[in-house]
Structure 1
Amino acid sequence: MPHAIEVPAETVSKWQEIVDMLAEVMCVPSALIMRVRPPEIEVFVSSRSPGNPYVAAECARLDTGLYCETVMKTRAPLQVPDALRAPEWAANPDIAVGMISYMGVPIHWPDGESFGTICVLDRKHSAYNDMFLRLLTLCRDILEADLAMLMTLSRQLEQREAKIQRLVDADIIGIFLWEVETQVIVEANDAFLRIVGYERADLRARTLRWTQLTPPEWLERDLRERLPILKRTGRLQPFEKEYLRKDGSRVPVLMGVARIEDGGHEAVAFMLDLTERKAAEAEARDNERRYREVQAALAHANRVTTMGQLAASIGHEMKQPIGACATNAEAGLRWLNAPTPDLDEARAAFERIRRDARRGTEILDHIRSLFRKAPLDMAALQINDAIREVISLTRAEAMKHGVAMQAVLAPDLPAVHGDRVQVQQAVLNLVVNAIEAMRAMPDGARRLTVSTAWDGTTETTGAVHITVRDSGPGIAPAQRERLFEPFATTKSTGMGMGLSICNAIAQAHGGTLCLCEPGQDDAGGGAAFRLTLPARRDQPWPAACGQGSV
């Protein structure tokens, strides 16, 4: 059965030039390319030469004694110098139009299937020489090369169409065809209909438009932005939107759209149902929220526990301003009750009372903030000020355990972006851990240093380091790997949450918490934890930031 592959117009134009050239070179009225279409044979291309009686698209029945029919049956060239002198051609229909001489060769598809013939015909006796036969054969070879290319392209197209059809039939994604001007959906696969909840009968009625499936808040952008881009470029970048199902519910989808051909009237849309992904994302967000709530609750419990451990230290810290207030009150009363009241001295005593009362209020506010369970309050934070408050709360605890505590705070540090309570909690945990770690150390060998430093690695990035170093026994190598994991502890009575919470606080601030490697800081044993927080870029940086000094 002859192939039904269509020959494109540009190839037909090329073939037209070939037959025109043959007619001119051989001085014949007719040069033809014939294509067999059983039960007929068609004049596929006819030369535009004077006196040519054959017209393109003209057909004749087979089994009528045509020259070309013999060529196709024998699959060999045929030369007829004068049909009037050969009785076997007496019934040939070509003689009726005066064509008594003929030369033709068969044309085949690459698989051997017959396409037709290429031939020349004349009204007079003509014994076509070998040169003309070679020329005709060369032209035939050009035609067969074109047919080979067409068959290759056709097979590739069939393979692509088969892949597309498998994709459509697989129902993995929704696919629909729609008219660009009317937005009417003209065809769709079952996956699309299932996603939007419509039936194939709705599709056949040609009343289903993607515009009616689009919620108003999405439709405005589709018509204003996306549709003009599609008409101009022929395709759209993948985008997310929502469609309305037939029952009124909504379905989130990922869309890809392209015109079927440049300037074509139809477009194809590919649609992936995102319902499960969106549900998974919502669940992940909910899990993250619950995790943050649990983390906040653990951090709050850790602060309360730590503050309980520091009760004596806090009491000592509060005792100072309260005692000072009482002393200054007695002094003020004595100056007022004197035979000659000294108002200046009394006023000075009352000013000291106000100062000490304010100091006591600040301590209480700070303690209350550590006990309060509140969300993150990110703001510009001066690290040195925050650390001084932590040291004041822990100084008495350190003295009780014979720990010599000192602060080495770098001047003029830029602010960091952080929550004051959480950063102080991290430092507080590290300080309390250090004090407890040195309990077994001999008297006079318990030293704790809290230091800050600036690290301006480049002109555009910088960080503030907070290092808490003790002179205790240090961290065993086997414990270093799991040091920041929840419930990992180096203490027999510890819960293993302190360092984990400190690490979580550091990460929430875009920073890091690490155990300094031996030799990275000052020698002398013990353990050193470094909390690193990025500096705010909108705050003044030290002049040395370009050199990356610490």
Structure 2
Amino acid sequence: MPHSIQVPPETVRKWQEIVDLLAEIMRVPSALIMQVEPPNIKVFVSSESKGNPYEQAETAPLNTGLYCETVMKTRQPLLVPDALQDEAWKSNPDIKLGMISYLGLPISWPDGQIFGTICVLDRERNEYSDLFLRLLHQWRDVLQADLGSLATLNQQLEEREAKIQRLVDANIIGIFTWQQESIVEANDAFLRIVGYEREDLVSGRLRWTDMTPPEWLDLDFQQWMPELKRTGRLQPFEKEFFRKDGSRVPVLIGVADAEEAAKQGVAFVLDLSERKRAEAEARESERRYREIQAELAHANRIATLGQLAASVSHEIKQPIGACAVNAEAGLRWLGAASPNLEEARQAFERIAKDARRAGEVMNRVRGLVRDTPMNREWVQINEPIREVIALTRSDATRNHVSVRMALAEDLPPVQGDRVQLQHVMLNLIINAIEAMSAVDDGPRELTISTGKAPGAVLVTVSDTGPGVDPGNIDRLFEEFNTTTAVGMSMGLPICQSIVQAHGGTLRLTANAPRGAVFQFTVPASQNGVTSPGAAQ
């Protein structure tokens, strides 16, 4: 009902200013706003003017013939110039207070229910001019507008409370109200989350502090409660509660207080058990996926080396053969009638040089085969690229592919795994050579270039092979997919995962007039600091 709506303090202060102004303008000792509270009538606001006998919150019983009582009953303005000269008003109780003249108007709620009156009273005869009556009407309209706003606000609050109550009753989310450290009310959803019965709640044994594990309780009092006192609410955060059986349940909880001291309020609780279980399963799946991916990457490196066998064999045969020739020459110089030590020394120097060359080839191969975790280091990208080109040069020659390098100078270093970056280059180069081996007309050209990109180093591998159908570009990066009769179905997905692990991107575009262009970026050092997305 409207008469149950509480008028807020700021509105009361505004109305006080109105009655004080009325008393001053109309030069009367008393200006009042009266409120009906059956079975009484109450002085809601009283002017602070001199000689005013009415005190705020003073009450009088209805049905005693008061001026205001008549206005509220008739809902009409009332003017009494002099009650002492009017038989109808000689017994009015207000006369006992010396108030013999009266002017008042009814005040109503928007739905028509009576709130009370606004009136002025005088100890002397007072006709109250039409100007005063219009002034009273204007102030009455202000008061009724305030009541309209309060009624609208009250309706909104009631609707909001109804929605909240429906939410509580729906048991979609756990809700409890608390005072100090006790839980005073809770819905069934919350009780299910923590495993308690309603009898436990009614008994008063539920305390949120007892239900909170010690490490979370420390956080509650050190962080969350001070913030609640400061802001009046807590954005949802994760914590744990003890269930009745002693087990723990992870929850997401949001809190709003009901008073400034944060000693009582409401909390909304969501059970995170299923989400945490799903996250754990996802982490395990991700771990297993990474293991499988590492195994596949290792297998792919070995498969790649199978294709490099001929090239590696050729690279090693040359220095080994040279070692044999120089060894025989050295022995001849030493076995001569007059040994030529200088010629023998030069022969052995050539043997040492060729042996180192063979060793370098084997080290490159060993680095690609070795299954080791990512080793972050600062790398000048051109150096490992040159090594891979050296490994694949014989394979390119055998397939009649000309290799051109366009490696930019003064590139910033990148932070990453040298071997893994070489593995990416090896896959891209072998794929390009393999693709061009099927081309019967036109040149077979492989171009490897490096350059700068915003915050990164750009590596490009372009060929003049048959190219790739635009519709197959995305599928090329899918695991176990290949568009060639021979080749590495896992190569490109692994290349992509390696580049992404380094914080870069790998993409494929068409070459002009034919062929394919693979480009990948690796975040570079900027003034000694790695770019965002680089190694963490």
TM-score range for the pair, normalised by the shorter chain length: 0.7 to 0.9
| SS of equivalent to 1:3 | helix
Correspondences of 1:529-540 after superposition (within 5 Å): 529-537=518-526
**Residue type matched to 2:496 in 1?**
N
Correspondences of 1:90-169 after superposition (within 5 Å): 92-97=92-97, 99-122=99-122, 126-169=126-169
Q: 2:450 matched to 1:453?
A: yes
For 1:545, the equivalent position in structure 2 comes to none
For 2:290, the equivalent position in structure 1 comes to 292
Q: Matches of 2:47 and 2:385 in 1, distance apart?
A: 99
Q: Matches of 1:27 and 1:48 in 2, distance apart?
A: 12
Q: Matches of 1:96 and 1:343 in 2, distance apart?
A: 145
- Describe the superposition over 1:463-498 as per-residue Cα deviations: whole angstroms up to 9, x where unpaired: 13232424x333355545644344543323456433
For 2:299, the equivalent position in structure 1 comes to 301
Correspondences of 1:170-189 after superposition (within 5 Å): 170-179=170-179, 182-189=180-187
Counterpart of 1:513 (choices 506, 509, 516) is 506
Correspondences of 1:365-514 after superposition (within 5 Å): 365-442=363-440, 447-455=444-452, 457-458=453-454, 461-470=455-464, 472-476=465-469, 479-480=472-473, 482-494=475-487, 496-514=489-507
Query: Which stretch shows the higher mean deviation, 410-419 or 311-320?
Result: 410-419
Query: Which stretch shows the higher mean deviation, 263-272 or 301-310?
Result: 263-272
| SS of equivalent to 1:16 | helix
Contact 2:106 / 2:118 at 8 angstroms: preserved in 1?
yes
Correspondences of 1:260-299 after superposition (within 5 Å): 260-263=258-261, 265-299=263-297
Query: Which stretch shows the higher mean deviation, 199-208 or 384-393?
Result: 199-208
Q: 1:87 to 1:516 in 2, by over 3 A?
A: closer
For 1:36, the equivalent position in structure 2 comes to 36
Q: Matches of 1:345 and 1:197 in 2, distance apart?
A: 93
For 2:195, the equivalent position in structure 1 comes to 197
Contact 1:80 / 1:102 at 8 angstroms: preserved in 2?
yes
Q: Matches of 2:114 and 2:134 in 1, distance apart?
A: 20
Q: 1:394 to 1:109 in 2, by over 3 A?
A: same
Identity of aligned residues (%): 62
Q: TM-score, normalised by structure 2?
A: 0.83
Q: Matches of 2:23 and 2:439 in 1, distance apart?
A: 114
* CA positional deviation for 1:533: 3.1
Q: Matches of 1:286 and 1:308 in 2, distance apart?
A: 33
Compute the RMSD of aligned alpha carbons.
3.7
Contact 1:369 / 1:421 at 8 angstroms: preserved in 2?
yes
Contact 1:410 / 1:451 at 8 angstroms: preserved in 2?
no
For 1:546, the equivalent position in structure 2 comes to none
Q: 1:377 to 1:95 in 2, by over 3 A?
A: same
| SS of equivalent to 2:510 | coil
Query: Which stretch shows the higher mean deviation, 228-237 or 70-79?
Result: 228-237
* CA positional deviation for 1:147: 1.9
* CA positional deviation for 1:242: 3.5
Q: Matches of 1:477 and 1:53 in 2, distance apart?
A: 95
Contact 2:310 / 2:395 at 8 angstroms: preserved in 1?
yes
Contact 1:242 / 1:253 at 8 angstroms: preserved in 2?
yes
Q: Matches of 1:164 and 1:294 in 2, distance apart?
A: 50
Q: Matches of 2:385 and 2:462 in 1, distance apart?
A: 11
- Describe the superposition over 1:381-402 as per-residue Cα deviations: whole angstroms up to 9, x where unpaired: 3433323333333333333334
Contact 2:479 / 2:489 at 8 angstroms: preserved in 1?
yes
Q: Matches of 2:138 and 2:391 in 1, distance apart?
A: 102
Q: Matches of 2:62 and 2:308 in 1, distance apart?
A: 111
Q: Matches of 1:145 and 1:481 in 2, distance apart?
A: 67
For 1:9, the equivalent position in structure 2 comes to 9
* CA positional deviation for 1:344: 6.2
Q: Matches of 1:336 and 1:250 in 2, distance apart?
A: 85
* CA positional deviation for 1:76: 0.9
**Residue type matched to 1:537 in 2?**
Q
| SS of equivalent to 1:492 | coil
**Residue type matched to 1:439 in 2?**
S
- Describe the superposition over 1:122-172 as per-residue Cα deviations: whole angstroms up to 9, x where unpaired: 555554444443343333333223222322332233333334334444444
* CA positional deviation for 1:114: 0.6
Q: Matches of 1:515 and 1:27 in 2, distance apart?
A: 92
* CA positional deviation for 1:23: 4.5
Q: 1:124 to 1:493 in 2, by over 3 A?
A: closer
Q: 1:50 to 1:287 in 2, by over 3 A?
A: same
Contact 2:228 / 2:262 at 8 angstroms: preserved in 1?
no
Q: 1:66 to 1:533 in 2, by over 3 A?
A: closer
* CA positional deviation for 1:113: 0.7
Q: Matches of 2:244 and 2:228 in 1, distance apart?
A: 26
Contact 2:462 / 2:515 at 8 angstroms: preserved in 1?
no
For 2:311, the equivalent position in structure 1 comes to 313
- Describe the superposition over 1:421-462 as per-residue Cα deviations: whole angstroms up to 9, x where unpaired: 33223222233223333334459x55343422222x45xx23
Q: Matches of 2:524 and 2:26 in 1, distance apart?
A: 90
For 1:544, the equivalent position in structure 2 comes to none
Contact 2:434 / 2:487 at 8 angstroms: preserved in 1?
no
Q: Matches of 1:24 and 1:532 in 2, distance apart?
A: 82
Contact 1:20 / 1:48 at 8 angstroms: preserved in 2?
yes
* CA positional deviation for 1:299: 2.6
**Which segments of 5 or more consecutive residues in structure 1 lack a partner in the other structure?**
542-550
Q: Matches of 2:104 and 2:440 in 1, distance apart?
A: 116
Contact 1:108 / 1:116 at 8 angstroms: preserved in 2?
yes
| SS of equivalent to 1:533 | strand
| SS of equivalent to 2:229 | helix
Contact 1:64 / 1:91 at 8 angstroms: preserved in 2?
no
Q: 1:131 to 1:325 in 2, by over 3 A?
A: same
* CA positional deviation for 1:304: 2.2
Q: 1:207 to 1:417 in 2, by over 3 A?
A: same
* CA positional deviation for 1:407: 4.2
Contact 2:176 / 2:190 at 8 angstroms: preserved in 1?
yes
- Describe the superposition over 1:221-277 as per-residue Cα deviations: whole angstroms up to 9, x where unpaired: 443344334333444454433344333333333444444344554344444433333
Q: Matches of 2:529 and 2:111 in 1, distance apart?
A: 80
* CA positional deviation for 1:101: 4.1
* CA positional deviation for 1:49: 4.8
Q: 1:533 to 1:7 in 2, by over 3 A?
A: closer
**Residue type matched to 1:535 in 2?**
A
* CA positional deviation for 1:308: 1.8
Q: Matches of 2:127 and 2:326 in 1, distance apart?
A: 140
Contact 1:414 / 1:539 at 8 angstroms: preserved in 2?
no
For 2:66, the equivalent position in structure 1 comes to 66
**Residue type matched to 1:364 in 2?**
M
For 1:548, the equivalent position in structure 2 comes to none
**Residue type matched to 1:447 in 2?**
R
Contact 1:29 / 1:52 at 8 angstroms: preserved in 2?
yes
Query: Which stretch shows the higher mean deviation, 309-318 or 337-346?
Result: 337-346
**Residue type matched to 1:106 in 2?**
P
Q: 1:122 to 1:477 in 2, by over 3 A?
A: closer
* CA positional deviation for 1:74: 1.5
Number of residues of Structure 1 aligned to a counterpart in Structure 2: 530
